[in-house]
Amino acid sequence: MTDPVRDPVLAAIRRRRVTRAMTDEPVARADVETILEAARWAPTAGNRHLQRFVATTHPGTMRVVRMVSPGMIARPPAAIVICVDRELAAQYGFRPDVPGPWIDVGTATATILLAAQAVGLGAGPVSSFSRAAVAVALDLPDGWSPELIVGLGHPAPVQPAPMSAGRRVTWRDLTRWVPEG
């Protein structure tokens, strides 16, 4: 087994946390672009890249996005919205109900969260938002469906306590070996 203390990727995975409170300090566009460059390397279904990213650091746009996103409690000054290009997915023969494009959203999200940490930013995924309102606020092209928002910002010095089940879950708690043994 690889030692997570000596492996920088495993160490980063263990350090990464959802940022639940952020400062008002602006996020540098260069940092967002570095995160987006990392996100393009996330695995995708059939290497088709059906996910699309919409980034903003514009205060007015962020204000509107926050207004239609009750799950965005951290008040981030920047965001990356991960979308699925449904028209492109249909051209590739994906039915609307297949999970591949949403798996792409998940792999992109994981990559974005780790990349944000790598550039010194806090990040938090948001799934509670009005998809229709976000699509309008961001002037999304036809066929782009906003699926998840990742808020980005500088972590506030004091963070709200995370929701907890009372004890730290281990990989053993989440895993079943088949066959047993």
Give residue 3's pLDDT: 66
- Domain extent, residue 123, equals 13-153
CB atoms within 10 A of CB 109: 22
Residue 94 lies in a domain: yes
Task: Count the alpha carbons within 13 Å of 4 in the hemisphere toward its beta carbon.
Answer: 6
pLDDT over 80 at 162, yes or no: no
Considering its fold, how many domains does the chain have in total? 1
Residue 68 lies in a domain: yes
Interior/surface letters 35-48, b for 16+ CB within 10 angstroms, e for the rest: beebbeebebbeeb
pLDDT over 80 at 164, yes or no: no
Residue 160 lies in a domain: no
Mean of all residue pLDDT scores within the chain: 91
Grade residue 42 by pLDDT with cuts at 50, 70 and 90.
Answer: very high
Grade residue 161 by pLDDT with cuts at 50, 70 and 90.
Answer: confident
Grade residue 1 by pLDDT with cuts at 50, 70 and 90.
Answer: low
Grade residue 150 by pLDDT with cuts at 50, 70 and 90.
Answer: very high
Q: Residue 29's domain is classified under what CATH number? A: 3.40.109.10
Residue 150, helix vs strand vs coil: strand
Residue position matching structure tokens 């089940």: 165
Residue 2 lies in a domain: no
Residue 167 lies in a domain: no
Residue 81 lies in a domain: yes
- Position 92, amino acid: Y
CB atoms within 10 A of CB 181: 4
Residue 19 lies in a domain: yes
Residue 176 lies in a domain: no
Region for residue 166 given its phi and psi (left: phi exceeds 0; alpha: psi -120 to 50; beta: otherwise): left
